[in-house]
Structure 1
Amino acid sequence: MFIDTHCHLAYMVDRAESFFLSEEDLVKIDQIIAACADVGVNELINIGTTPASSAAALQVAMRYPHVYATATLHPSDVTETWQDDVYTLKAFVKEAKTQPSSPNDILVWYGGQAGKLVAIGECGLDYHYPGYDKLAQRKVFESMIELAAEYDLPLVIHTRDAFADTIDIMRSCQFSGMRGVFHCYSETIDQLDMVFDLGFMIGITGAVSYPKNEHLRDVVRVAGLDRIVLETDAPFLAPQKKRGKPNTPEYIPLIADTVTQVLGCSIEEVAVKTTANAQKLFALNDHRISN
């Protein structure tokens, strides 16, 4: 069994900014999840990036026993309304982590299954494109770390051209039990120790299979199976064999195959260990619900 620890199902049906997905959208997602099961990808973590996509991620998680959700405000989605967005997100997470108290509570609509929200993220810093607001991104990131601390949830970290500042903020805001994963790790071997010292794992995507990315394969060699989880970031970053096509969680075995080549181990070893890592990090055995 494999777990895709990072995918964007709403993006895959072109509904990235919808609070609620239509039945037509959900039927398309049914087909995606069925295709995943056919290749042994049996659990998915559906990642939020805004209050809207976080709500949609939880909606999808409520539909399937082995799909989970995260919530956040992604650094690339930080705008002049970020304070309102953070307020909305905090209210949503509070509601999603408590039992419904009135017929109007969102969790009544979701069936009261509050355990399906398993992390805060993907959150962090992104200095890649011009025009970003560094101070606003920092404030949002600090708020997301506080939210993770309040509800004892792991963090899914996004950092792009901002690794030093990301680490500095995490150190200054570090809390007891802080944990999580650096999504789509693309930094150097030398920076791995800073990640591991914070108690975090790294996410390995299809980018590890690109011919030019020998440094990522070196990262896998150094990290080993104990400190990695597998993720597609679907519909982005398709593995080399599917490059040029939309990515999908069913391509997780292709990422695992590259890891087997790098580490000289079996596909079964990769499946067992990365699955165990993900289940422990996100406490999936505690959150699994039979629909």
Structure 2
Amino acid sequence: MLLVDSHCHLDGLDYQSLHKDVSDVLAKARARDVGFVLAVATTLPGFRTMRELIGDRPGVAYSCGVHPLNQDAPYDYAELRQLAADARVVAMGETGLDYHYQPETQVQQRYSFREHIRIGCELNKPVIVHTRSARQDTLDILKEEGVERCGGVLHCFTEDIATARTLLDMGFYISFSGIVTFRNADELRDVARFVPLDRLLVETDSPWLAPVPFRGKENQPAYVRDVAEYLAVLKGVDIAQLAATTTDNFSRLFHIDSQRLTAAV
């Protein structure tokens, strides 16, 4: 069985007291059948630092982008395109809109979001989308920029069924994190039941949002197993089937040969 953590921030984990190094984190993940991870950047300097920390590993792919909450200073879109063009980068992002924490940067967020999609379409690399308190603008921009040309995923999904339906109609994938295991997440569990299995991804978003029974602790890629087990129950399938399907979904969305995924284990 092979599980993929489709969204984590490997550079953000505690390497002082919890983990020896990146190899230690990945070994803990493999021990729970999590054999591949997508390491996601949130700034361009952070992408470079993350690459230096992790290096080239068979079980890790990269995404390159600037998070909507990191729009306080301008950045070079030509540099974004150059970094994203690297063959080891399989996605753009994370990008998107977050009006909850920084409504004052809405204009810059929207511009940055559009640029990520345009570069994604040019390079044929899907976009990893974050949205909070910006549902309609997010959907409008995805549609206006023709995101179906490159595809994408709404990561750490916390929206409603109507939003999920609109995204699915655009060809998007939906990714669930540990939030789906939280006691007060009944509406989100309804969405998880609604999303077709062949459009589903699983993630940790580590080091944040650890699933039950680890809630309140630092998250890590190994815990995607707990998210997957919980989703398998919601979907009425066994964990092996959910693992196989979500891994196939990951392979298809991010244009990663399935042999590369299995060889990494």
Among 61, 76, 90, the residue aligned to 2:81:
90
Moved over 6 A (4+): none
Structure 2 Cα separation of the partners of residues 248 and 138 of structure 1? 30
Instruction: Compute the displacement of 1:178 (Å).
Output: 2.6
Q: Which structure would you say has the larger Rg?
A: 1
**Match in the other structure for 1:285:** 257
Per the TM alignment, residue 6 of structure 1 is displaced from its structure 2 partner at its CA by 0.2
**Which ranges of structure 2 fall in alignment gaps of 5 or more residues?**
none
145, 156, 160: which one aligns with 2:117: 145
Which residue of the other structure, out of 226, 229, 233, is the alignment partner of 1:257?
Answer: 229
Contact conserved, 1:125 with 1:138, CA < 8 A, in 2? yes
Q: Which residue of 2 aligns with 1:180?
A: 152
Partner of 1:77: 70
* Equivalence for 2:8: 7
CA, structure 1 residues 255+60, in 2 after alignment: closer, same or farther (shift >3 Å)? same
Q: Retained in 1: the 8 A contact 2:84–2:91?
A: no
Distance 1:216 1:164 in 2: 18
Match of 1:233 among 198, 201, 205: 205
What TM-score, normalized by structure 1, do the two folds share?
Answer: 0.84
**Match of residue 105 from structure 1:** none
What is the distance in 2 between the residues matched to 1:131 and 1:186?
19
Counterpart Cα distance in 1 of 2:214 and 2:206: 12
The letter for the 2-side match of 1:210 is F
The 5 A counterparts of 1:31-180 are 31-59=24-52, 62-79=55-72, 81-82=73-74, 84-94=75-85, 96=86, 115-130=87-102, 132-175=104-147, 177-180=149-152
Q: Does 1:189 align with 2:180?
A: no
Determine helix, strand or coil for the equivalent of 2:46.
Answer: helix
* One-letter amino acid of the counterpart of residue 195, structure 1: L
Identity across matched positions, percent: 32
Q: Mean alpha-carbon deviation: is it higher for 256-265 or for 157-166?
A: 256-265
1:30 aligns with 2:30: no
Confirm or deny: 8 A CA contact 1:61 1:68 kept in the other structure. no
Task: State the secondary structure of the residue aligned to 1:63.
Answer: coil
Write the letter of the residue equivalent to 2:170: L
TM-score normalised to structure 2 length: 0.91
Please tell me whether the aligned partners of residues 65 and 92 of structure 2 are also in contact (alpha carbons under 8 angstroms). Answer: yes
Structure-2 separation of matches of 1:287 and 1:161? 39
How many residue pairs get aligned? The number is 260
Query: CA 1:242–1:282 in 2, change beyond 3 Å: closer, same or farther?
Result: same
Cα distance in 2 between the residues matched to 1:31 and 1:3: 17
- Structure 2 Cα separation of the partners of residues 129 and 193 of structure 1: 26
Do 2:10 and 2:39's aligned partners in 1 also have CA atoms closer than 8 Å? yes
Higher relative contact order (CA 8 A, sep 6+): 2
Q: State how far apart, in whole Å, the 1-side matches of 2:56 and 2:118 are.
A: 29
Residues in 2 aligned to 1:287 and 1:60: alpha-carbon distance in whole angstroms: 25
**How far apart are 1:132 and its partner, in Å?**
2.9
